[in-house]
Amino acid sequence: MTVLACAASAWAHDFSGDITKFQAIAATKKPDSQQALAAKLALERAQGEMEQSDVKMVLRIRSMTNAGLRAIGEQPAFLTSEYKRLEAALANPKTNDPAKIAAAKETFARLSVEMKVYTDLENMAVDQMKQALQLIESAPAN
């Protein structure tokens, strides 16, 4: 699981700078104000959604990519290169078996959809982080 977490974070948006900025701004704001509480909620939701989507989607994407690679005689790859590697392997498969190639193409088509969903989830979490920063900036000062 540690390897997957590291692989996921290599692909996912890094919120550490945003969190540092949020905490610095929050330190100057009234913590129990409506805006500060809403900002904290938005921050927690953004972090939670990113973590949840990373784990769920990375595992699904990894499984589908490796199934496609195995179907055409390739070894499974690391997450950061799996999608591109499967695409390249489909362009020049090591097998001539039409059923295996068709299975890998079908897997790649499903994988492409999953990758789009993963990207959308990540973008939504990034938008929520931006909202959290805007809310904390609008909170009254101490």
Tell me what percent of the residues of the chain surpass a pLDDT of 90: 33
- Residue with the two structure tokens 């000062």: 141
pLDDT the model gives residue 77: 65
Average of per-residue pLDDT values in the chain: 83
pLDDT the model gives residue 116: 82
pLDDT the model gives residue 80: 55
pLDDT class for 2, splitting at 50, 70, 90?
very low
Question: DSSP string covering 16-42, please?
Answer: HHHHHHHHHHHTTB-TTSHHHHHHHHH
The 10 Å CB-count burial string (b at 16+, else e) for 65-96 is bbbbbebbebeebebeebbebbeebbeebeee
- Residue with the two structure tokens 């492409």: 112
Q: Is the pLDDT of residue 5 over 50?
A: no
49 is written with which tokens? 């959604």
SS3 14: coil
Q: Is the pLDDT of residue 93 over 90?
A: yes
Other beta carbons within 10 angstroms of residue 36's beta carbon come to 19
Q: Is the pLDDT of residue 25 over 90?
A: yes
